[in-house]
Chain A
Amino acid sequence: MGFLTLASLSKVYGDHAAVRDVDLSVAKGEFVSLLGPSGCGKTTTLQMIAGLVEPTRGTITLDGRDITHEKPNTRGLGIVFQSYALFPHMTVAQNVAFGLEMRKVARAERDKRVKTMLGLVHLAQLADRYPRQLSGGQRQRVAIARALVIVPPVLLLDEPLSNLDAKLREEMQFELRRIQQSVGTTTIMVTHDQAEALSISDRVVVMEQGRMTQIDAPYRLYEHPATAFISSFVGKMNRLDGVWRGQGPSGTAQINGVSLPCEQASFPDGQTVALSLRPEKILLRAHGQGRVDGTIVNRFFLGSYWLFTVETPVGALSVSVPNHGEEPAGEGDAVALDWTPASLRVEAITATAGAAA
């Protein structure tokens, strides 16, 4: 039994199920991300935990206590909203003190805790400013401080970084993780940004159309995506359709008659299969020295790595190569591609799954 447990949690609006039978168990101190495209039900799930949306079915248990129908003001959870939702008429210190004031914490104690918290988020010198005098990243940190100062059992973050520009977003990601680890608060973050979810979570929950389709550690999610949707949504992925030739484990995956070494698998002869291969798992070799030959049709420089599109007899493949400081092969060059067999994943395409995809 986890610290925070959701059991068959559902929310139905009219005849549309926003969240369907969600089961999740979060351990104390864990950082869990709910990841999915917009409209997948991740925010509704968060709002049900917060008590801002009444669940249609299911239960929410916090530390052994059923809080499914408890009012948001008695749950005691900390929430950071996408818009930050700061009180515009209060100073930074007053914003942070609000929750303590509601808890009737004595003045001296209150000031001390607000000061400590503002120190933690590096805002001590801005305590008397108003929210509109702060930058986006600073407002964000005020919102986090306001939510954490009440020492909530669970911190809920609703797309906390989506209103920040790219550079700041990256910085705040690590900042968020640092703050979370230093206070040790159990945290649930909703996000549509897979990079954000992978980089700072202990576990990632992928949601599709109101359901949870995979709950895993970030690297497992990346290496072993449970569905085709997840493999394309999390990171970049080359996907090819092939056929399994040969009987059982001794067979190989083929595309247009070209045999492609792949992970250990076993399918009946003639089975159509989906092949997936991450761009960074492919190595660029000299022409004739790899598993398939090809021609570079596009080359993009992305700072820390180069991204190539290589046209091969089995189809166009994306290949990413770390930047070692020298200029690599250019557009039009003939190259060969190589990979370790284990990195090429094979899945059977059933008639229905094929139709859906």
Chain B
Amino acid sequence: MQKNGPIALAFHTLVVAFVLAPLLVICLVAFTPENTLSIPTTSFSLRWFREIFVHPDFVASFVNSLWLATLSATIAIALAVPAGLAIDRYDFPGRDGLNALFLSPLIIPHLVLGVAFLRLFALIGATGSFTWLVVSHVIIVTPYVLRLVLAALSGMDRSAEQAAMTLGASHWTVFRRVTAPMILPGITGGWLLAFINSFDELTMSIFVTSPATVTLPVRMYMYATESIDPMMAAVSALMIALTAGAMLVLDRAFGLDKILVGQK
């Protein structure tokens, strides 16, 4: 492997520092004993973490977001894998149209989608329904999953499927035993990307959530518009810790390289 020169190394360090510095600052601010957003200098305090738990609406929103992201990422996979197989393997009328339809949410601003869904939900009487919130999230995360599934499919050796077939496997068995494991990195990568996108989504969710279904980003946004105190930093720090923890567990259990890149 080629070694980086000192200039490249310095540049990379700067980029990484630029990306990580705000996260670090947020984490530090979360431990402040003061009432304002400030970096603790004399002492650390957990008061803002305790503060989160006296706001049960934050905890409820967190659980809500977790469910929403899990469900929409999973449903997106269930849609994108068959769609990807059809688009990659078969030549049928409307194939390009289907591909474009699945990818179209990417190019429509979330603001526009939010207003459109708001109107739609009002029309069909679905305002405040968690199910319809999931539907709207599935629509915005499916393109990411489909892209990754398609890339995985076009990169795999089709003759492995033919070999399985000639060895006596039915279509379903070929998919279950050969195709699915071979595109697994695309599927898991797509699921994670979809999960993160759904969990983060704010712009559209502001329009389509109701008091009963407020997601964590929307809750934080609403809170921050009213008052700025270090509790926001504490929530953020918790989120960072949770994500890092989840990655660590995934890496230990399966190996991130294996599920995201397909190597062992």
Contact = CB atoms under 8 A, between A and B. Distances in A.
A353 interface: no
Nearest to B181: A89
Contact of B168 (A73, A81, A89, A130): A73
Interface residues of B, number: 19
A87 interface: yes
A209 interface: no
Contacts of B160: 85-88
Contacts of B163: 79, 81, 85-87, 143, 146
Interface string A93-120: 0000011001100000000000000000
A55 interface: no
Nearest to B170: A73
A77 B166 contact: yes
A52 B164 contact: no
B164 A98 contact: yes
A77 B164 CA distance: 11
A76 B184 CA distance: 28
B167 A99 contact: yes
A72 interface: yes
Interface string A270-309: 0000000000000000000000000000000000000000
A298 B170 CA distance: 60
Main secondary structure of the interface of B (DSSP, over half): helix
Contacts, number: 66
B167 A150 contact: yes
Nearest to A143: B163
Given A83-B157, A87-B160, A102-B173, A72 B264 contact: no
Interface string A62-81: 00000000011111111101
Given A81-B163, A85-B159, A146-B163, A76 B178 contact: no
A2 B168 CA distance: 25
B168 A99 contact: yes
A51 B166 contact: yes
Given A79-B163, A130-B264, A87 B178 contact: yes
Contacts of B135: none
Contacts of A89: 181-182, 184
Contacts of B157: 83, 85
Interface string B141-182: 000000000000000010110111111111001000110011
Contacts of B178: 87
Interface string A38-50: 0000000000001
B162 A52 contact: yes
Main secondary structure of the interface of A (DSSP, over half): loop
Contact of B162 (A72, A76, A88, A143): A72
A257 to B, nearest CB: 58
A332 B164 CA distance: 60
Contacts of A74: 168
Contacts of A73: 165-170
Contact of B165 (A72, A83, A146): A72
Contacts of B182: 87-89
Contacts of A98: 164, 167, 169, 177
Nearest to B169: A102
B166 A72 contact: yes
Contacts of A103: 168
Nearest to B264: A130
A85 B182 CA distance: 12
Contacts of B168: 73-74, 76, 99, 102-103, 150
A153 B181 CA distance: 30
B176 to A, nearest CB: 12
A71 B182 CA distance: 23
Interface string B208-230: 00000000000000000000000
Nearest to B262: A88
A128 to B, nearest CB: 13
A83 B164 CA distance: 14
9 contacts: A72-B166, A73-B167, A76-B168, A77-B166, A83-B159, A87-B160, A99-B168, A146-B163, A150-B167
Given A50-B166, A146-B167, A150-B167, 15 more contacts: A72-B165, A73-B167, A74-B168, A81-B163, A86-B160, A87-B164, A87-B182, A88-B182, A89-B182, A89-B184, A98-B167, A99-B167, A102-B168, A130-B264, A143-B163
